[in-house]
Amino acid sequence: MYSSIKIVNGNYVIHFLSLLTADQLAGMKGDIHGGYNQALANAKPFGGRKFNNKAFGGGIGFDYQADAEKALEAFTTCWAYTVDHPEHKIEWLGKMTLADSRKHRKEGRTVYTYLNEETYNEMKANAQA
């Protein structure tokens, strides 16, 4: 979906759809205003605010790039697995946010992430074959 950070007039802007969980996105059912308000509530703990600009409709603005990146990581879904070395033991972690995958990295583990569930499932099937 929309997952990049745009710089608009010195603001770091993310499209609101990128700041919704999968359940929130599915529950929108065409309610754009409700979805935007939910995304805005999700972004506020990271310093997000309503961003009005003709060049970027539906945006949520941040003053700092690091804040925008943290917010985006908190709501971007990925599928992850780890490989413990030197035994090369694979642990399939499954669906999580990018922020959660970083927690596994802090534990000193190597974490591989995919933004596409199909690719993750292919890797898992090939490894188990």
Structure token digits, residue 33: 């205003």
For the chain, the average pLDDT equals 84
- Asked whether the predicted pLDDT for residue 31 surpasses 80, the reply is yes
Any idea of the CA torsion for 83, 89, 99, 4, to the nearest 10 degrees? 50
42: pLDDT strictly greater than 90: yes
| Between 20 and 85, the higher pLDDT residue | 20
61: left (phi over 0), alpha (psi -120 to 50) or beta: beta
d(CA 128, CA 83): 14
Evaluate if residue 108 carries a pLDDT over 50.
yes
Predicted confidence at residue 1, as pLDDT, reads: 46
Do 17 and 1 contact (CB within 8 A), yes or no?
yes
Q: Across residues 56-85, what is the average pLDDT?
A: 86
What average pLDDT score do residues 83-105 get? 80
Average pLDDT over residues 97-103: 83
Residue 37: the pLDDT is 93
| pLDDT at residue 85, rounded to an integer | 67
DSSP states of the chain: ---PPEEETTEEEEEGGGGS-HHHHHH-TT-HHHHHHHHHHHHGGGT-EEE--TTSTTEEEESSHHHHHHHHHHH-EEEEEEEETTTTEEEEEEEEEHHHHHHHHHTT-EEEEES-HHHHHHHHHHHH-
